[in-house]
Amino acid sequence: MIGIIILVVIIIIIALYVVSLYNGLVDMKNRVKNAWAQVDVQLQRRNDLIPNVVSTVKGYAEHEKSTFDAVTQARANMTNANGVAEIAQADGEITGALKSLFAIAEAYPELKANTNFNNLQDELAETEDKIAYARQFYNDTVLKYNNKCQQFPSSIIAGMFNFKEAESFEARDEVKSVPKVEF
């Protein structure tokens, strides 16, 4: 009789432990989704600001059509991107295109003095900071989730219930390289 009670207690403890591991994996998976949603919100915020910046710069530098087209195309690519890898690639394209756009702005003193342009530039810079923070938070959350999926004994539960590792947000190789500056 005591042996049966001990066996039942051990089974209950094991069952509670399994439930705890499962709930921990669900919690981490949902945190990854939430962190990605925060990245997505900031990327969308930047995407919404881009047309205003482009139209402001266009008013001063209409002949820079190729740069405007590149920014517009990069924004369209971001809008159509799906999944972490595609969005990371589109993000890199936008970053490069915006650098070119702001380089053009440097050549126009009257544009740099424009209050509307300065406000847009400040708002875009603030958004870029928020994007960087959201990416970092997302990647930290992915790391914790992936560790939980890989570490024993939660890896057994992850395998049994088909928890898949999440993908980190990584910069494209072109964005990682140090820009060449010539004077």
Q: What CATH number does the domain containing 116 carry? A: 1.20.1440.20
How many whole angstroms separate alpha carbon 96 and alpha carbon 11?
58
Number of domain units in the chain: 1
Query: Would the pLDDT of 21 be above 70?
Result: yes
Is 157 part of a structural domain of the chain? yes
- Domain containing 85: what range? 35-173
Burial 126-149 (b: 16+ CB within 10 A, else e): ebeebbeebbebbbebbeebbebb
Q: Are 90 and 74 in contact (CB under 8 A)?
A: yes
Is 23 part of a structural domain of the chain? no
pTM exceeds 0.85: no
Mean pLDDT of the chain: 86
Is 136 part of a structural domain of the chain? yes
Model pLDDT for residues 24-52, shown as the tens digit of each residue:
999 999 999 999 999 999 999 999 988 88
